[in-house]
Structure 1
């Protein structure tokens, strides 16, 4: 018994010590930095919903910095690359109720303005105007956070930065990711070479796929590179879910060990428990309620140079849906069909177009009515299909109310669901002649009731997704579309880029594959 007791005691101490060492090892791997390069307000602040829950917005940054020998070899052009820029920027939005998520890619060449950056340990920069947004990373990841927040109006809660070698290591840790391409493709700039069909990519091949811009879509950063990335990330997300990685301690260990070595995160994520908690939040979101979208941009020639700028109204609509925590899918996972999310989805018993509602402005601040409140709410109602909504000026009132006559409850409920008005504020009154919404002093800003969780309207979804090259997270079998453009400057049989022709001729990625027999494929 004494021997057994000693053995058991030793095992307890040994396993406890191993767990402690593992925890210490993972925590010591993590590199962290300031969230914002401009103080505590530089990243914005989230607003809680009616239940006190807040969404999570993470800026994922892929750095092109050649800061060590491994990254230098992987990225090439070590002597000419210079500095550190964001090859990839994505805003990952996880809703407050953890039922849906949106991943918005920000093209690296997008021109933007931001207020400059001053963060300890990083290069300072003054106010920027019409500057490529990827250049903000020179001021540190917190500067990229500032630039993206000021561009979009979306609060950024965390950032994660990964370099070339980090992508290689993490793809190896998950055992590779299976992707599909719809034609033969060779991009000599990223070195990606694949035959049409399915391939499992890891290591260098995964990095080549994620960096490819000339091989996919329209061969641009806004369509070419992000299309391939969305295909890869959709496959990765489904693999992690299908394998149970995000809910398995043993599988999470391998991934966490690679991730903590590969990532630089903001200071509030600098422990393994916080990172695992973030993984658990993501695991709650069904794949069919994840939307991948590319921010709408277009290239315009300015003084002989092409510049990338936002395309409206799509870009602003996409910003608004994320900032307002609105899903780009319905509760069933549909992308653009009419309907509402899990919290506002029950279809009204009457069609919105048949509901006549009068909106009265009773919202007062500092003793005076806030101008335009009724008109603002009417505009929102009309966007949601309530074409018979009208605005009038009323008397100041402390609280919002929605009244209706006998038999008018279905019409009033339709209005309440559209705007997130609490059931307690919806009442039948004897003297009512129609549905009347009085906007009170408890609702002085915004077009949905404060703290309410309402879905984007179908028209809002369509505007937000128009031109965004979007993909649903459940589309794991979709293939990356290989570019048809002659955008690869000629290559020889060994796959070397050649400009010996005058002027140099161009070829398509598929033709480049055919004329480069001596180049080994990236994956079988």
Structure 2
């Protein structure tokens, strides 16, 4: 309907919409086009928004969830370090998988990777846990389909893979077993079966792999020429499952090959070829959500997207693939299982628990140099006292409860700082650990800084205090950055533990 005629407020202005009046009709037409265009765009945005929401709900419907109770965390935070237990099961689900795994298996923990992502996203560690590792599985509470709970009794001295599937154990039981074995609590889990490898590799157009010699394995049906190949679908699954094509045909060699495969898959998923292809992204989203079972806390697509975006921040060169240090089981004549190497594993577990990188992060070193001027750095230079001559009081200024006592035990029993004592809680919490000392205690301060890995910025020249024996002493206040008894605070000074077959996600390696 045309608008009603109105009196023009100013005679020189034309009536909008009238024909044959002044050149302004083009301007009016432009406004009309703009109106229609704006309306159309608003409609498109509305439709796209509704469609996007519906598609996200569709993807969310693809994801299966499990309530693991207090085995993990109740939510996901983008501002904290996090641990995700990735589980690959041997359950024969999905079309074409009849020939894989154990017939009738409830789905054991066949492939297990504890992924730790650092708080500052500068690095991550993917720690493989052998399925044949002998562990103690604790009692675990599981939630049944009818909503009731059942406590499944634990088992001692059994394979790790029995933490899932046996006696009705769910992924929460596997998470509890990881905590029992390593002291590291997984926050969440992601579980996939054989189909995940097939569908994910097909979604990205195949994954590049390399072998040092031609492979013809009749058991897995894997056939590859020497050198580089691209695998997807059934061939990709055969590559990660074969135990007879590489090394000594054991599970530890298979783990190494799987780590190389995952590194290549990560590179392919984050490549521009994948990220700029809407078709591949949709296929990838469909494949990933259909393949996954996760804990209820991260069971919505928005949270899974947030996790993916946080993972994307970690440079591939700083994603370390490693395996729990193990030894052949001494109780067996025929070696079939392994046990934790108590000489090496505790340091690996402690570094993950305390968010210490396994890779040298150059940016941290650069930032450290910027923060510390020459005067601060000079605090670390000069003569050092013998540990037995260092007198220090230890206070807890924001570290976890009991930290002062644990650090004192370390100082006295392992570091030789016998003239140390627990002074209880500090007057207030502090963010960074500090060591306050008098000028005549500088040699003692430098000795303790070396033992604890304190940076120059943590050393605070000041006044000495009197210890319980009435003698002058320094004050070590453990802040919120405290990483555990005996763990050096300066990550750059921590010696990297000896890891078997460790690699990083940016390395292109050939399986042998």
Question: What band does the TM-score fall into relative to the shorter chain?
Answer: 0.7 to 0.9
Corresponding residue SS for 1:390 = coil
Partner of 1:127: 154
Please state how far the C-alpha of 1:141 moved relative to its aligned partner: 1.3
2:98 to 55, 62, 72: 72
The CA deviation at 1:235 is 1.3
Query: In the alignment, which of 246, 250, 265 is matched to residue 220 of structure 1?
Result: 250
Distance 2:332 2:126 in 1: 33
Distance 1:135 1:86 in 2: 7
Alignment of 1:55-70 (within 5 A): 55-70=81-96
May I ask how many residue pairs the two structures share in their alignment?
447
Relative to 1, partners in 2 of residues 1:394 and 1:115: Cα closer, same or farther, differing over 3 Å? closer
1:208 pairs with 2:243? no
Of 116, 133, 143, the match for 2:139: 116
Question: Is the contact between residue 382 and residue 446 of structure 2 (CA under 8 Å) also seen in structure 1?
Answer: no
Determine the C-alpha separation between the residues in 1 that align with 2:308 and 2:192. Answer: 17
- Does structure 1 retain, via aligned residues, the 8 Å contact 2:404–2:424? no
Residue of structure 2 equivalent to 1:480: 511
For residue 202 of structure 1, report the CA deviation from its aligned partner: 0.8
- 1:104 CA displacement: 0.4
Q: What's 1:236 paired with?
A: 265
Structure 2 distance, partners of 1:229, 1:438, is 49
1:330 is aligned to 2:360: yes
Aligned: 1:428 with 2:462: yes
Please give the root-mean-square deviation of Cα atoms over the aligned residues, in Å. Answer: 4.1
What SS does structure 1 have at the residue aligned with 2:110? strand
Partners of 1:309 and 1:116 in 2: how far apart? 21
Aligned-partner Cα distance in 2 for 1:4–1:45: 46
- Farther-moved stretch of structure 1 (146-155 vs 98-107): 146-155
Contact 1:348/1:414, CA 8 A, preserved across alignment: no
Say yes or no: does 1:91 pair with 2:114.
yes
Give the secondary-structure state (helix, strand or coil) at the position aligned to 1:97: coil
* Corresponding residue for residue 522 of structure 1: none
Deviations 1:391-433 (A, max 9, x none): 314573643642141794996599289556895772234899x
| Alignment counterpart, residue 64 of structure 2, candidates 27, 31, 35 | 31
Ranges in structure 2 where 5+ consecutive residues have no aligned partner:
1-31, 427-433, 467-471
2:295 to 253, 266, 287: 266
Q: How far, CA to CA, are the matches of 1:262 and 1:369 in structure 2?
A: 42
**Kept after mapping to 2: 8 A contact 1:60/1:91:** yes
Output the CA distance in 1 between the equivalents of 2:296 and 2:144: 14
How far, CA to CA, are the matches of 2:110 and 2:305 in structure 1? Answer: 26
- In the TM superposition, residue 377 of structure 1 has moved relative to its aligned partner by 3.6
Normalised to the residue count of structure 2, the TM-score between the two structures is: 0.75
Structure 1 portions without partners, runs of 5+: 334-338, 383-388, 482-524
Q: Distance in 1 between matches of 2:403 and 2:198?
A: 59
Partner of 1:489: none
What residue number does 2:311 align with?
282
Distance 1:45 1:299 in 2: 37
- Aligned to 2:419, what secondary structure does the other structure show? strand
Q: Relative to 1, partners in 2 of residues 1:379 and 1:203: Cα closer, same or farther, differing over 3 Å?
A: farther
Which sits farther off after the overlay, 162-171 or 308-317? Answer: 308-317
1:415 counterpart (425, 446, 449)? 449
Tell me the SS of whatever aligns to 1:103. Answer: strand
Residue 485 of structure 2 corresponds to: 447
Match of 1:498 in 2: none
1:111·1:130 contact (CA, 8 Å) conserved in 2? yes
Bigger Cα Rg: 2
Q: How many angstroms does 1:146 deviate by? A: 1.1
Partner of residue 7, structure 2:
none
C-alpha distance 241-207 of structure 1, shift in aligned 2 (>3 A): same
Q: Tell me whether 1:471 sits opposite 2:508 in the alignment.
A: no
| CA positional deviation for 1:265 | 0.8
Residue 374 of structure 1 contacts residue 391 of structure 1 at CA under 8 Å; is this kept in 2?
A: no
User: Following the alignment from structure 1 to structure 2, what is the Cα–Cα distance between the partners of residues 107 and 265?
Assistant: 21
After superposition, give the CA deviation of every residue in 1:218-248 in whole Å (9 maximum; x if it has no partner).
32112x1111111111112222333275698
Paired residues for 1:25-424 under 5 Å:
25-34=58-67, 36=68, 39-40=69-70, 42-43=71-72, 53-73=79-99, 75=100, 78=103, 82-121=105-144, 125-138=152-165, 139-222=169-252, 224-243=253-272, 245=274, 252-300=281-329, 302=331, 304-306=333-335, 307-332=337-362, 355-356=384-385, 358-363=390-395, 373-377=407-411, 390-394=417-421, 396=423, 398-399=425-426, 401-405=435-439, 408=442, 412=446, 415=449, 418-419=452-453, 423=457
Q: Measure the CA separation in 2 of the matches of 1:272 and 1:164.
A: 22
> Secondary structure of the equivalent of 2:51?
helix
Partner Cα distance (1:14, 1:45) in 2:
34
Q: Say if 1:362 and 1:439, in contact at 8 Å, map to a contact too.
A: yes
Assess if the C-alpha contact under 8 Å between 1:247 and 1:280 holds in 2: no
RCO comparison, higher one (Cα < 8 Å, 6+):
1
CA 1:286–1:248: 2 relative to 1, 3 Å:
farther
Per the alignment, residue 430 of structure 2 pairs with: none
Partner of 1:507: none
Map of 1:510 onto structure 2: none
Q: What residue in structure 2 maps to residue 497 of structure 1?
A: none
The separation in 2 between residues aligned to 1:44 and 1:361, in whole angstroms, is 36
